[in-house]
Amino acid sequence: MTQTGSVADGWETVIGLEVHAELATETKLFSGARNHFGAEPNTNIDPVSLGLPGSLPVLNRKAVELAIRVGLALHCEVRPSIFARKNYFYPDMPKDFQISQYDQPIDLGGWLELPSGKRVGVTRAHLEEDTGKNTHVGGSGRIGGAEYSLIDYNRAGVPLLEIVSEPDIRSADEAKAYVEELRAILVAIGASDGKMEEGSLRVDCNVSVRRPGAPFGTRCEIKNVNSLRSLGRAIEYETRRQIDLIEAGERIRQETRHWDENAGRTTAGRSKENSEDYRYFPEPDLVPVVPDPAWIEEIRAALPVLPADRRHRLAAAAGLEHTDQPVIVAVERGLDRLALDAIAAKADPGRVLTHVEHNLAVDGAEQLAGNTLAALVALETGGKLTATQAKAVLAELVELARGGTQGDPAAVAAAKGFEAMQDSALDDAIAAAVAASPAEWERFKAGDAKERGKLTGFFVGQIMKATRGKADGKAVTAKLNALADG
């Protein structure tokens, strides 16, 4: 896919995202029916989640707490809020209205920092209830051609937090980074499991294009974006479509469009005659939510350190920038605590982050203790283990950690036969190799950097063979050069 909407071809994409996150509660937003994905159809139901006549909603305290957590994590103001009814008929919505926070949301005005260091504004986050699920039967199985539909209300009433960003995002990649960062935050604070494939995280995007510096263009809202990949593709497609229209002299119509994953395009939604008149009014069956400041502070105090802060913290400890790749990767993998502990135990930060980035993309790596990793790095930097040997030892250490024990790197190395080569033994091996190939050695001694580079490989290979891999490549190279020049 070619990069579209970049400033390079004279256009800029403007993106705002609405992310619906299902909150990780035991029960639904307004009743004690279970919030549990994958149950048998219509088993997580009660009078409230079925919207039976006479049923009344009672707000789940945990859902409010999670909404406050998210608000605080996104630097929002947590405010007094009320629920409203959004009235429209749809068969998967049991009451034929949705209870949602409308003009008084719980979280207002925050921001989120992307790994790139860019801040994306968060307009608001508000609580609302999810709908049930329709299955279309007959025809093509798609909504248009179905003969009839079956409805499962297990999901109806599951708590959602709708998180609305400012139109601060400028590319498909940035949009994906935003969703990934938001997901990392939601998971870190226990607000949501963040599983896009199970619908726990759903994204609608508003896309428009403009000449850089010009006012915002007319936007289209794109729905049915079910994965990060779809998000990127949908934005790139929609950007191209809008640019093509404008360049053809046409106007963009503000509308809702549907992402068709198979066709790889967005299509205009059916225009609904009543869609604009939701007749919002305050939900009379619920009372205002006015969180006690003490409660908010209690929730704030219990928040874990968030991904952006973790990047800053690790970067500071490692002497890097928070936008550097190894730092981003360490936090993404949840291995920044390990790295910090290892660095605190005096391990070389560069070696630590190299291991985290390249050798620890495995389950259970987070169970490794910082001291263990530090001990391993110390063997390496002390010339007791080669990089290759260290990697093998590390894999073994992770296995042990997963089983609940922290191994001793030196003992593991020894067990693998990686006993440290004495310097004198290495010197002996080098001398033997040089003696065995006098012609090559003469060329090495006389050669420039390029020539030496070629021959280094030859000598290291010989020495490795002789030492059965126990020699450290870097140490050998250094010694060869020293010998030739000295």
Partner 1 sequence: MPARISRDDVAHVARLALLELTEDELERYTEQLGAVLDHATDVEALDLSDVEPLSHPLPVRNVFREDVPGEALDRQEVLGQAPAAEDGRFRVPAILGEEP
Partner 2 sequence: MSGPTALELAAAVRSGQRTAREVVQASLDAIAARDGEIHAFNTVTVEQALAAADRIDATVAAGRDPGPLAGVPVALKDNLCTRGVATTCSSKILDGWQPPYDATVVTRLVEAGAVVVGKTNLDEFAMGSSTENSAFGPTRNPHDPTRVPGGSSGGSAAAVAAGFVPLSLGSDTGGSIRQPAALCGVVGVKPTYGRVSRYGLVAFASSLDQIGPFAATVADAAACYDAIAGWDRFDSTSIAEPLEPTTEALGRGVAGLRVGVVAEMTGEQMGIAPDVLARVRAAADALAAAGAVVDEVSVPAAVYGLSAYYLIAPAEASSNLARFDGVRFGLRVDAPTTAEMQRATRTAGFGPEVKRRIMLGTYALSAGYYDAYYGQALKVRRLILRDFDAAYERFDVLLSPTSPTTAFELGAKTADPMTMYLNDVCTIPSNLVGHPALSVPYGTGVDGLPVGVQVMGPALSEAMLFQVADVLEGSLA
Looking at residue 323, what DSSP letter applies?
A: T
230 binds, among partner 2, partner 1, none (CB under 5 to 8 A by kind): none
> Any contact of residue 94 with partner 2 (CB under 8 A)?
yes
List binders of partner 1 among 207-246 (CB under 8 A): 223
403 binds, among partner 1, partner 2, none (CB under 5 to 8 A by kind): none
Tokens of 75: 């630097």
Number of residues that bind partner 1 (CB under 8 A): 63
The one among 9, 77, 141, 150 contacting partner 1 by CB under 8 A: 150
The region of 62-70, 161-169, 238-246, 474-482 touching partner 1 under the rule CB under 8 A is: 62-70
Of the candidates 218, 219, 182, 188, the one whose C-alpha atom is nearest the C-alpha of residue 201 is: 182
> Any contact of residue 269 with partner 1 (CB under 8 A)?
yes
Least distance between partner 2 and beta carbon 56 (Å): 5
Query: Backbone phi, then psi, for 293, in 5-degree steps?
Result: -55, -35
Give the angle 136-140-144 at the CA atoms, nearest 5°.
Answer: 65
Strand pairing class (220-225; 256-260): parallel
Complete DSSP assignment for 180-231: HHHHHHHHHTTS----GGGTSEEEEEEEEEE-TTSPP---EEEEEE-SHHHH
Least distance between partner 1 and beta carbon 365 (Å): 33
Answer positive or negative: Cα dihedral of 13, 214, 276, 111. positive
Of the candidates 65, 94, 93, 59, the one whose C-alpha atom is nearest the C-alpha of residue 78 is: 65
> Any contact of residue 57 with partner 2 (CB under 8 A)?
yes
Number of residues that bind partner 2 (CB under 8 A): 30
Least distance between partner 2 and beta carbon 30 (Å): 9
How far apart are the C-alpha atoms of 205 and 224, rounded to whole Å? Answer: 10
CB of 317 closer than 8 Å to CB of 291: no
The region of 119-127, 151-159, 238-246, 315-323 touching partner 1 under the rule CB under 8 A is: 151-159
List binders of partner 1 among 5-44 (CB under 8 A): 25-27, 31-34, 40-44
Indicate the residue among 201 and 394 with the shorter CB distance to partner 1: 201
Answer positive or negative: Cα dihedral of 134, 137, 142, 143. negative
Q: For tokens 């209300």, what's the residue?
A: 153
> Any contact of residue 64 with partner 1 (CB under 8 A)?
yes
Going by C-beta distance under 8 Å and a sequence separation of 6 or more, which residues neighbour residue 144? none
387 binds, among partner 1, partner 2, none (CB under 5 to 8 A by kind): none
63 binds, among partner 2, partner 1, none (CB under 5 to 8 A by kind): partner 1
Provide the binding-site residues for partner 2, judged by CB under 8 A: 47, 50-59, 85, 87, 89, 91, 94-97, 149, 151, 276-277, 279-281, 284-287
Binding site for partner 1 (CB under 8 A): 25-27, 31-34, 40-47, 50, 58-64, 88-92, 131, 134-136, 143-144, 146-153, 223, 256, 258, 269-270, 272-275, 277, 279, 281-282, 284, 286-292
